[in-house]
Amino acid sequence: MLADKRITVTGGKGFLGQHLIRKLSDYSCRGIEIVDLPQYNLTDQADIRRMFDVTKPDIIIHLAAKVGGIGFNQEKPAELFYDNLIMGTQLIHEAYLRKIEKFVALGTICAYPKFTPVPFKEEDLWNGYPEETNAPYGLAKKMMLVQSQSYRQQYGFNSIFLLPVNLYGPGDNFDPRSSHVIPALIKKCFDAIDNHSDSLEVWGTGRATREFFYVEDAAQAICMAADLYEKSEPVNIGAGYEISIKELTELIARLSGFTGKILWDSSKPDGQPRRQLDTSKALKEFGFKATTDLTTGLQKTIEWYRQNRHLLNKK
């Protein structure tokens, strides 16, 4: 599917996008175009049309999103809902009008109901409301699934919808205002070491569990789905295991070299109680299985941060 095609990747300058671009280079594409801010504002319909005119894609992989951690979700729920909804809606519709060959939409695990049975199966996606702090973002992204299935049913438009779990890896977002849990914890550990602090504070109780997906594995999964998967049913992509935030924090502290005390601020929310995906459909439909274990992935991420944090701190 991807060989000799023109691929446009929205959000291609972002964390996942940079890794995806490198993976796509293995697929003999005719061209790979990156679409991102500030050149294109994908909430603006005129910019979307200009993007199609300039890049002339055969296939679009839509990664662009406004996203952050629990604090950012609480601070910016309206922006998270509107920006993500309008980007997906306009892109899919314009792609249909222009008769592109395939649209690959990236959803989010935040679309799942708050109390989904573990491991999360794709058929459970509509069995309840998402966890409240994630709901505006999760529901906005989930509307791409509704649109994808509707457009295939009525127009025969070829689009697919992937549900990645929490990503991490080299090049992640370490900005404390919007970072997710792994980069936030890594930065806290290094800052505590720099400040000769004997403790660090972490939000929540530590009891919530999460699944974490190494970014290079995620890029491989997206490439394989774009190349091989041709159905409208959503597909989970992830590593297929869970770890408590307490265990994760202790592991990151050990790998980072922080030996002080970890203090839990239980007045802050945990977010969704548990997260772990059933990833059997990805293996069955397009042969994907994650290969990077958490400790190895964290070691690579911590080493990347160690080597680049002086540059990040200048921003």
Find residue 236's DSSP bridge partners: 163
| Calpha distance 67→83 (Å, rounded) | 10
φ, ψ of residue 121 to 5 degrees: the values are -105, 145
Task: State which H helix or E strand residue 50 sits in.
Answer: helix 45-55
pLDDT (mean) for 121-130:
97
Burial status of residue 234 (CB atoms within 10 A of its CB: 0-12, 13-18, 19 or more): buried
For 218-264, write each residue's pLDDT tens digit. 999 999 999 999 999 999 999 999 999 999 999 999 999 999 999 99
Separation CA 21–CA 9 (nearest Å): 8
Q: Is 108 helix (H, G, I), strand (E, B) or coil?
A: coil
Phi, psi of 159 (to 5 degrees): -140, 150
Find the DSSP H helices in the chain: 15-24, 45-55, 70-75, 77-97, 135-155, 181-194, 215-228, 245-256, 280-286, 294-312
- The pLDDT tens digits for 92-102 are 999 999 999 99
6-168+213-240+273-291 to CATH, choices 3.40.50.720, 3.40.50.2300, 3.40.718.10, 3.30.365.10: 3.40.50.720
- Residue 131 corresponds to which amino acid? E
Q: Give the pLDDT score at 70.
A: 78
- Tell me which residue has tokens 């609480």: 74
Distance between CA atoms of residues 308 and 138, nearest Å = 31
Query: By percentage, how much of the chain surpasses pLDDT 70?
Result: 100
Q: What is the mean pLDDT of the chain?
A: 95
pLDDT digits (tens, 9 = 90+) for 151-199: 999 999 999 999 999 999 999 999 988 888 999 999 999 999 999 999 9
- Whether residue 52 is predicted with pLDDT greater than 90 in this model: the reply is yes
pLDDT in the model for residue 282 = 98
Strand partners, 162: 106, 235
**Rounded-to-integer distance, Cα 26 and Cα 195, Å:** 44
Token code pair at residue 8: 């446009």
As a whole number of angstroms, the distance between CA 204 and CA 292 comes to 27
Segments making up each domain of the chain, as ranges: 6-168+213-240+273-291
The pTM of the full predicted model, rounded to 2 decimals, is 0.94
pLDDT of residue 315: 66
Instruction: Please name the residue that has the structure tokens 């002339």.
Output: 56
Q: Is the pLDDT of residue 1 over 90?
A: no
Res. 210: pLDDT tops 90:
yes
Catalytic residues: 137
